[in-house]
Amino acid sequence: MGVESFARAAFRVIGGLFFIIGGGLLLLMGMIGAAPSFWYFICFCVFPVVGIVWFWRPSLAAALSIGPLISTIALLRYVSGIWSYSRIWAVAYAAGLTISLVLVVVAMQRLRAWKLPVLLSLTFVCCAFGTDRLFTNKVTVRTYRMYVAANGHAPWGDVGPEWQDGSPPVVLYRRVGNSYCYDAFHSEELRQRLTPKDGQTVDVQYNTFSDFGRQRGYNVRSVDGVLLNDDQHTVRDDERFGGQILGDTGEPDCGR
């Protein structure tokens, strides 16, 4: 085997293993919730496939990887957060992105009919992005009138536990049939604002998040006009817990 043949074989193996292992790590990050949104995860799924194609035709694999690589480039907007979370992950991400771009540029030099695979790759990432924006992470704001229990005393008893400073939670609750839905807060600002309204009702808004029509979570948007969460962005980082008190009719539909 000549030097050139050996170099080509090594390039196939190195590139294939890099995309398979790197794609697998990105997939693992996506499965534990580290992917910012759905389209990133879909693009991550392509990289192991690209790695397999790389063993056969590196130039074709490089062209097919261009679209999904856009998702890894888009992760640059989160690099400061990655750095603050783990410098090792941030360095690994930067190194992986750089190596992948070098591999693609080198491999693409041998591809003559590059337009069709690149077009397919870009079409794929556009479809993934469009699906993400149209059907995932949809936010619905729901408003309820809820009773205030500024001292933690609700109709079913004391809501606990108390916070570390010994203060009881500020509880907001509403009745659904014979059951109750509630949220409790550790917030001196809310306590001062709601204490004069103890036993009365106030407007409570919830952000509910859904993917493909199925609700996956919620947060409290505002309480009596005090903004706590703007979409998924936390405005006031107050401790909170919520729950349900079941009555004779079974689990209530809290709508959040």
Q: What is the DSSP string of 135-148?
A: HSSEEEEEEEEEEE
* 251 lies in some domain: no
The dihedrals phi and psi of 67, each to the nearest 5 degrees, come to: -60, -55
Q: Does residue 47 share a domain with residue 161?
A: no
Q: Does residue 190 share a domain with residue 81?
A: no
115-135 vs 58-74: helix crossing angle, rounded to 10: 30
* 186 lies in some domain: yes
| Residue 44: per-residue pLDDT | 93
The dihedrals phi and psi of 202, each to the nearest 5 degrees, come to: -135, 165
How many domains are there within the chain?
Answer: 2
* 174 lies in some domain: yes
| Residue 90: per-residue pLDDT | 83
**Domain end among 99, 117, 135:** 135
* 256 lies in some domain: no
pLDDT tens, residue by residue, 95-134: 999 999 999 999 988 777 788 999 999 999 999 999 999 9
Domain span including residue 162: 138-245
**Domain end among 135, 156, 179:** 135
* 99 lies in some domain: yes
Q: Does residue 158 share a domain with residue 125?
A: no
CA dihedral 69, 137, 218, 187 (to 10 degrees): 60
Structure token pair of residue 139: 């936010």
Q: Does residue 11 share a domain with residue 121?
A: yes
Q: Does residue 108 share a domain with residue 187?
A: no
- The candidate with the shortest Cα–Cα distance to 255, out of 172, 150, 135, 174, is 174
**Domain end among 87, 103, 135:** 135
In order of 161, 204, 235, the CA distances from 147 in angstroms are 19, 10, 23
Q: What is the mean pLDDT of each run of 10 residues along the chain (256 residues)?
A: 78 92 89 84 94 93 93 86 79 90 89 86 95 92 94 85 76 90 90 93 94 89 93 83 74 70
| Residue 224: per-residue pLDDT | 94
Cα(239)–Cα(231) distance, rounded to whole angstroms? 17
